């Protein structure tokens, strides 16, 4: 008996001790409202790439997969649940080789082609303008259409805008009506090219600016409601910076500053991916805590990039009339082994969800300048919300973060201060905790807290100015491992679970697990 007792004691000494919670104090000043967190910050991006469109959105009217006019019903329902505000289409690099007339009219009469950008896949053009607009309407999202500046013409772009927005009494409007949609489509956002510094034509900034002016001048939205003087004018987004390169930012903003009555732009795009180095080599599955920490640290660079380009924009636009639209962002990893490398298919882990939450927090802190973003991409490509395989569909951890953050759409940011602490893994050091808060359109106060530390829980003591908290309840997303994913076989490995806070004397204490994201409603 004594020997058994000694052995049991030794086993307890050798067993790993549970990690102790790290204390973090967060102060929320609920009495000082800040900038509005524009709902378009939570936008999506769908490019003709891999199975993002075909199989992901479009299955055709004759498919045994339940569909509405060829569009997957399960995907539409999932996207409606996260209140997608805007979808960017048709690309990406694909946009600057897309010719819109190939994708209208009877399906059996449409021109087929090859997608030279992404894996040499066949492009049947089954999903074209009318199908995209139908999809956006089903989802409840605004349309962000990118016109072909790289290989197209101003006339082609102008004709496309006429097809989408002209009155049905016109020739262009009659053609649209003949294809099944009498009323003009609403085109809220228009992208004037894509990555013109790269796959969109490798143009010098000066060359792009000259071309941009022509497209801005002659691509008119002909719907009186969306025209330049209408109540809901279309917003034209110019090509802007790639990561930290400021040459396009300077050139486009200088041109905007000097624009005259003949042309204008209403936004500047920015593309910045979390890769950890180029070409992307980090795996989407089977990585350890070091791989987790390095990529999370890389994601935090988004804050500095926005600040850098915002400072240049402020020189020309101190009133912040021109928004910075980060219309491509997300985790770009190595293609999943066994997949076509040109299809950019990767799994989506808890790590990616945490990175998404950090991006939302960064965008919210720059809400005075950042008023639209589009994660790359929506389905089956890069950091996707949804993965599909024939009739099967699974929601990724990133999807769940988007759903958790829905209360922040069009909410008013309130100041948050905290001593974030430090998380260190190997030679990687970063803040341990990140947080934002906002008052929703319904008047409720919401707090989002992310614990970046992969090994230690965090005890969050939340104090309030201008509010006596009476309750705290919400959801938390975490999993046993940093590389946990949702698969078709195990779709609920990483899903939100309820979390509540302890309330005492108007303050709230949250016990936050390691590597987790929580969104909590504070009752007052």
Q: Estimate the crossing angle of helix 397-404 against helix 350-365, to 10 degrees.
A: 30
How far apart are the C-alpha atoms of 448 and 43, rounded to whole Å?
A: 19
pTM: 0.95
SS (H, E, C) 306-351: HHHHHHHHHHHCCCCCCCEEEEEEEECCCCCCCCCHHHCCCCCEHH
Q: What is the DSSP letter of 282?
A: -
Lookup result for tokens 């500047």: 268
Q: 404 and 477 in contact (C-beta within 8 Å)?
A: yes
**Element spanning 237, H or E:** strand 235-238
Structure tokens at 123: 């492009």
User: Would you give the end-to-end CA distance of the chain in angstroms?
Assistant: 57
Annotated catalytic residue, options 47, 328, 391, 521? 328
CA angle 226, 227, 229 (to 5 degrees): 110
DSSP helix/strand/coil, 284: coil
CA separation (Å) from 13 to 1, 8, 367, 406, 457? 19, 9, 51, 46, 22
Nearest Cα to 45, choosing from 269, 372, 327? 327
Structure tokens at 167: 């009155």
Please say if 206 is a catalytic residue. Answer: no
Please say if 195 is a catalytic residue. Answer: yes
How far apart are the C-alpha atoms of 358 and 161, rounded to whole Å?
A: 36
DSSP helix/strand/coil, 506: coil
How far apart are the C-alpha atoms of 152 and 211, rounded to whole Å?
A: 11
Annotated catalytic residue, options 175, 195, 206, 391? 195
Q: What share of the chain is helix, strand, coil (3-state, %, to 5)?
A: 30, 30, 45
* pLDDT tens for each residue of the chain, 524 residues long: 434 443 444 443 344 445 667 799 999 999 998 999 999 999 999 999 999 999 999 999 999 999 999 999 999 999 999 999 999 999 999 999 999 999 999 999 999 999 999 989 999 999 999 999 999 999 999 999 999 999 999 999 999 999 999 999 999 999 999 999 999 999 999 999 999 999 999 999 999 999 999 999 999 999 999 988 889 999 999 999 999 999 999 999 999 999 999 999 999 999 999 999 999 999 999 999 999 999 999 999 999 999 999 999 999 999 999 999 999 999 999 999 999 999 999 999 999 999 999 999 999 999 999 999 999 999 999 999 999 999 999 999 999 999 999 999 999 999 999 999 999 999 999 999 999 999 998 899 999 999 999 999 999 999 999 999 999 999 999 999 999 999 999 999 999 999 999 999 999 999 999 999 999 999 98
* DSSP-H helix ranges across 28-122: 73-81
């Amino acid at each position: 008996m004594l020997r058994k007792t000694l052995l049991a004691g030794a086993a307890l000494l050798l067993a790993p001790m549970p990690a102790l919670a790290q204390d973090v104090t967060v102060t929320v000043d609920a009495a000082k409202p800040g900038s509005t967190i524009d709902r378009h910050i939570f936008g999506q991006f769908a490019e003709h790439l891999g199975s993002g469109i075909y199989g992901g959105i479009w299955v055709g009217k004759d498919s045994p997969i339940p569909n509405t006019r060829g569009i997957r019903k399960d995907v539409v329902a999932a996207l409606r649940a996260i209140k997608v505000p805007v979808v960017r289409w048709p690309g990406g690099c694909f946009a600057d080789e897309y010719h819109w007339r190939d994708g209208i009219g009877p399906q059996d009469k449409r021109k087929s082609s090859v997608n030279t950008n992404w894996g040499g896949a066949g492009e049947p053009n089954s999903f074209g303008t009318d199908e995209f607009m139908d999809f956006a309407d089903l989802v409840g999202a605004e349309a962000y259409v990118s016109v072909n500046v790289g290989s197209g013409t101003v006339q082609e772009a102008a004709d496309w805008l006429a097809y989408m927005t002209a009155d049905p009494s016109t020739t262009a409007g009659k053609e649209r009506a003949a294809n099944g949609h009498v009323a003009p489509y609403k085109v809220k956002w228009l992208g004037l090219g894509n990555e013109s510094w790269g796959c969109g034509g490798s143009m010098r900034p000066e060359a792009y600016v000259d071309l941009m002016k022509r497209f801005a001048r002659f691509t008119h939205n002909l719907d009186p409601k969306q025209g330049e003087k209408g109540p809901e004018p279309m917003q034209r987004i110019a090509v802007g910076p790639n990561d930290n390169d400021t040459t396009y930012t300077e050139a486009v903003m200088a041109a905007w500053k000097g624009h005259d009555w003949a042309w204008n732009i209403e936004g500047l795009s920015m593309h910045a991916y979390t890769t950890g180095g180029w070409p992307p080599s980090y795996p989407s599955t089977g990585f350890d805590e070091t791989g987790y920490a390095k990529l999370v640290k890389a994601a935090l660079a988004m804050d500095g990039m926005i600040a850098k380009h915002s400072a240049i924009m402020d020189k020309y636009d101190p009133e912040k009339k021109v928004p910075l639209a980060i219309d491509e962002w997300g985790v770009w990893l190595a293609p999943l082994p066994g997949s076509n490398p040109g299809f950019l298919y990767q799994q989506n882990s808890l790590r990616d969800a945490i990175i998404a939450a950090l991006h939302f927090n960064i965008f919210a802190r720059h809400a005075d300048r950042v008023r639209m973003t589009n994660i790359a991409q929506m389905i089956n490509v890069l950091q996707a919300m949804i993965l599909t395989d024939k009739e099967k569909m699974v929601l990724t951890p990133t999807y769940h973060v988007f759903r958790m953050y829905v209360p922040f759409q069009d909410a008013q940011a309130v100041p948050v201060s905290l001593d974030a602490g430090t998380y260190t893994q190997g030679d990687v050091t970063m803040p341990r905790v990140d947080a934002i808060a906002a008052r929703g359109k319904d008047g409720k106060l919401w707090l989002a807290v992310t614990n970046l530390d992969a090994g230690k829980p965090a005890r969050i003591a939340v104090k309030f100015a201008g509010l006596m908290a009476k309750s705290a309840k919400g959801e938390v997303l975490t999993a046993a491992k940093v590389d946990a994913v949702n698969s078709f076989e195990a779709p609920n490995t990483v899903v939100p679970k309820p979390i509540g806070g302890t309330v005492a004397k108007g303050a709230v204490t949250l016990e936050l697990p390691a590597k987790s994201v929580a969104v909590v409603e504070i009752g007052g």
